[in-house]
Chain A
Amino acid sequence: GAGVSQSPSNKVTEKGKDVELRCDPISGHTALYWYRQRLGQGLEFLIYFQGNSAPDKSGLPSDRFSAERTGESVSTLTIQRTQQEDSAVYLCASSLSGTALSYEQYFGPGTRLTVT
């Protein structure tokens, strides 16, 4: 079946503009995660959704970052007033549930954000 999809694949924006990044999880997956991968670094956890609620937003780096999820489907990560340090690849993942460690997280291809 279809995997996790993300759009856009690439986004170049000017400093100070707002951007929205979209994630379509695998159908039936109740858990959704956003991670960030800066150049040469590992992935950093940003936020976790179980259904449409976000029990853990602890990884969001500032109040310029927000995310929402519609039901158990699409999620949008919004970055307001972008800064150059926001440049990274933003990865979305989904799993059947977030409550069991055995469930694998499946990753999307990512959105490469460049802030000029």
Chain B
Amino acid sequence: GNSVTQMEGPVTLSEEAFLTINCTYTATGYPSLFWYVQYPGEGLQLLLKATKADDKGSNKGFEATYRKETTSFHLEKGSVQVSDSAVYFCALRSNDYKLSFGAGTTVTVRA
């Protein structure tokens, strides 16, 4: 079956630091890959996505590249801000409608 493994948190960073959250997956077929973000007190939002190998998803300064050879979709941002403090979820969708999620990584950015 499908599964997603992401880096455990919590992660604490200073402003302007580089952020990486690792995500690897196991899936049948050709999955689409997603990063969702949950800001404090808010609902889950799609941050970025990639639908095929070598695609790069990007949004709000975040990037992730779909690496089929390593079954990975690591999230990166070059210079984080306090407003990036949130819980980040890696997810996939393969040949059907349901999303399979990782456990989430809590990121705290300190000023």
A interface residue numbers (CB < 8 A to B): 3-4, 31, 33, 35, 40-45, 48, 56, 59, 91, 93, 95, 98-99, 101-102, 104-110
A42's nearest neighbour on chain B, judged by CB, is B101
B100's nearest neighbour on chain A, judged by CB, is A45
Asked whether A45 and B99 contact (CB < 8 A) given A107-B43, A109-B42, the answer is yes
B45 touches A107 (CB 8 A): yes
Give bound CA distance, A83 to B82, whole Å: 38
* Chain B interface extent, by class: 20 to 34
A107: contacting residue among B44, B96, B97, B98, CB under 8 A: B44
B87-111 Cβ-contact flags toward A at 8 Å (1 or 0) = 0010101011111111110000000
Given A56-B98, A91-B43, A107-B43, 7 more pairs with CB closer than 8 A: A33-B99, A35-B101, A43-B89, A101-B51, A105-B46, A107-B36, A109-B42
Asked whether A42 and B104 contact (CB < 8 A) given A48-B98, A98-B97, A101-B93, the answer is yes
Chain A residues in 8 Å Cβ range of B91: 43
Chain B residues in 8 Å Cβ range of A98: 97
Asked whether A42 and B43 contact (CB < 8 A) given A48-B97, A99-B97, A101-B32, the answer is no
A97's nearest neighbour on chain B, judged by CB, is B97
B103 touches A40 (CB 8 A): yes
B3's nearest neighbour on chain A, judged by CB, is A42
B36's nearest neighbour on chain A, judged by CB, is A107
CB distance from A57 to the nearest CB of B (A): 11
Give bound CA distance, A33 to B93, whole Å: 13
B20-58 interface with A by 8 A CB criterion: 32, 36, 42-46, 49, 51
CB distance from A94 to the nearest CB of B (A): 11
